[in-house]
Amino acid sequence: MFEEPFRWMEAISTRHSYVREKLQSGQPVIAVPYQKGALILSFSSQPGKIFEVYDRIAMGGMGHPADMERLRMTLLDMAHLEGFNRSSEDVNIARLLQFGIAPSLKQNFEEVQRAPYLIKLLLLEIAPGGQPNFFRLNYDGYWETLKNGGCVSGYERVMEWIDKKIDETPFATFTLEKAFVMACKIWEEGKQQVVSDEDKDDKNSEVIFTLKDAFEKWGLEAGVLCAESERKSIYRSIDAGEIEKLKAAVL
C-alpha cells in the first residue's frame, strides 16, 4: 500500500526520460518578433511543423506527427468554439492554454496507463494592439510566456542557449528578411551546442553542423503573422520561392 506513491513517482520519472529521449531527434523551432509582427521557422524532413491556428494565432512544434496533428485539431476546435461563444477578439493563447489544452496534457501525462504525447509546442499571436506574444507548451502540460520570442528543442541546453541569444538580439527592430537571416544563424549556432566531443569523433553521427547541410538534408518551413495585414487572418506561410530568395541571404 505504502509503496504505491513511490511506484507512481518512478513511473512519472520514467515517462519524462522516455519523452525527452524521443524528442532529441527533432529539430528546434524558433519564433521571433520583427518590425511588423512575428516569424516562426524550423527545418524538417517532412512538412507539418508550422500551422495557422486562428485569425491571429499560429503554432509550431516538434515531436510525433500524429500527436502534433491531434493537438493542432484540438486547439483549432477550441479556438473556433471560443470565437463562436464569445467573439474572435476574445480568442487568445493564454485562455486556450490555461483553460483547455494544458490541463488535458497534464492529466494525460500523469495517467501512467496511457501513452504520453511526444510533443513540444511554440505558440505565437498578435494581440489586438499589435503586440506579438509567445508561449511554450511542454508535453506534461506546463506552459510559460516568452517575452521576446523563443525556442523549443529536445535538448534543454540548446533551448536555453537559443532563448538567451534571442533575448540579446533586437529582433523587433528588424525587417522580415533580417529577422529571418538572424533566426537561421541562431538556429545553426544552437544546433552546434548539441555537438559533444564524442559526436565530433563519430563519423556516423547525424548531427548537422551548418545551415548549408540543413538546407540540403531538410526542408525549411516558415510562417509570418503580419500585424499590418488588412485581412482578418493575418497569417501567411512563406512559400518555396520566397524561402529560396531568403536562403541566398543566409548562405
The per-residue pLDDT string of the chain (251 residues; one tens digit each, 9 = 90 and over) reads 445 777 888 888 999 999 999 999 889 999 999 999 999 999 988 888 999 999 899 999 999 999 999 999 999 999 999 888 888 888 999 999 998 999 999 999 999 888 999 999 999 999 988 899 999 999 999 999 999 999 999 999 999 999 999 999 999 999 999 999 999 999 999 988 776 544 544 544 455 568 888 888 899 999 999 988 777 779 999 988 888 888 888 87
Q: How does 153-184 read in b/e, with b if 16+ C-beta sit within 10 Å?
A: bbbeebbebbbebbeebebbebebeebbbbbb
User: Which residues, at least 6 apart from 196, have a Cβ–Cβ distance to it below 8 Å?
Assistant: none
Query: pTM above 0.75?
Result: yes
In a domain, 33, yes or no: yes
- Orientation angle between helical segments 102-110 and 4-23, nearest 10 degrees: 120
In a domain, 44, yes or no: yes
In a domain, 159, yes or no: yes
First to last CA, the chain: 61
In a domain, 17, yes or no: no
Here the CATH number for the domain that contains residue 67 is 3.60.20.10
In a domain, 1, yes or no: no
User: Which residues, at least 6 apart from 94, have a Cβ–Cβ distance to it below 8 Å?
Assistant: 133, 135, 145
In a domain, 30, yes or no: yes
In a domain, 134, yes or no: yes
Residue 88 is part of which domain span?
25-250
In a domain, 13, yes or no: no
The number of folded domains in the chain is 1
